Copies of this chain bind each other. A is one copy, B any other.
């Protein structure tokens, strides 16, 4: 089977690194080019990990040059605002795109502009499919543009969605208390994430203003369509924290049951929703979701428990993988008719 050609846009950061690493072992796809905004030259210079296994040279973004590689797909790891400049150029050349930035995740342009900045690619917004394969596999298969979900949103959406859709929990009053490893903050050095400041430190940030809040709410609300809960609006508090570790997110979620909560019923609801989904695991008994169990994998581990009549949910994933790069490859697999798990174990 001939491999598809993949072009990477934004290969110098942490998510680009993971895309490269996964493609090295992908049975049906190969990286043919990498381009970036700021760092150029051999990928093995930018990422010393890739000496003797990746030969490509990262160049400046140029849609024509990219097209010359006859790519089947472009995976964009550029920051938001930059992504919306690149995507239309690639789409104009008929190149299918998986975009890891936030630029196409919010269908509501006004909502995007309230939390981010003016949006310049309304057509892209209209075309984009939210790349959460557990819920949108059919649309992803034929999509021209996939908006890869945020790391926190994936960790919160997967445990919440089935319970909301079946009406087992209330769509309002939800609290998502999340904690992430530091790679989520990106590769640029900062005082805050200077090693001696971040190490041996656990702290909250983004109180009331983290941009993943509208993404979680809007996409959970969208997932109510076609259920008995349709028309309800999901409303929640999202509070992230930083943990001194490289990778991993755990969201601990508190929700109000819509009827007396029962841990078996909640668990069965989750198990039913994900029975045929290869990358979501429902944890029962003593094993709770933990970041270590999902590190370096595309899994999201979830669980439901009942405490004093309230619902407590957990969602754990590797923020660089199921929260970003491996989920992008999972989307790519669907887009090209590969086994959903290809290259991902």
Contact = CB atoms under 8 A, between A and B. Distances in A.
Interface of A: 14, 24-25, 27, 48-49, 51-53, 175, 177, 179, 181-183, 187-191, 193-205, 207-208, 235, 237, 239, 241, 243-248, 250, 252, 254, 278-279, 281, 283, 287-297, 299, 301, 305-308, 310, 312, 314, 316, 343, 345
Contact of A241 (B179, B247, B295): B179
Contact of A292 (B183, B203, B296, B312): B203
A203 B52 contact: no
A343 B299 CA distance: 20
A175 B49 CA distance: 27
20 contacts: A25-B343, A49-B293, A49-B294, A175-B175, A187-B196, A188-B194, A189-B191, A193-B194, A194-B195, A200-B248, A201-B248, A201-B292, A204-B252, A208-B308, A237-B310, A239-B252, A239-B307, A239-B312, A243-B244, A254-B254
A201 B177 CA distance: 16
A234 B33 CA distance: 47
A199 B182 contact: yes
Contact of A189 (B189, B247, B279): B189
Sorted from nearest, which 7 A-B pairs have the closest CB atoms? A203-B290, A201-B292, A208-B307, A189-B194, A189-B189, A195-B198, A177-B177
Given A24-B345, A290-B201, A14 B53 contact: no
A316 B201 CA distance: 11
A252 B241 contact: yes
B243 A243 contact: yes
Contacts of A278: 52
A194 B184 CA distance: 12
A307 B48 CA distance: 24
- Among A183, A196, A292, which residue has the most Cβ atoms of chain B within 10 A? A196
- Among A204, A279, A297, A306, which residue has the most Cβ atoms of chain B within 10 A? A204
B204 A250 contact: yes
A201 to B, nearest CB: 4
Nearest to A297: B49
A109 to B, nearest CB: 22
Given A196-B246, A205-B288, 13 more contacts: A48-B290, A49-B297, A179-B243, A194-B195, A195-B195, A195-B199, A200-B246, A200-B247, A200-B295, A202-B290, A203-B288, A203-B289, A208-B307
Nearest to A180: B202
A175 B199 CA distance: 27
A252 B237 CA distance: 12
A326 to B, nearest CB: 13
A344 to B, nearest CB: 9
Contacts of A343: 25
Contact of A199 (B53, B197, B246, B290): B246
A77 to B, nearest CB: 15
Contact of A307 (B207, B241, B305, B314): B207
Contact of A203 (B183, B197, B204, B250): B250
Contact of A195 (B25, B175, B177, B193): B193
A212 B244 CA distance: 25
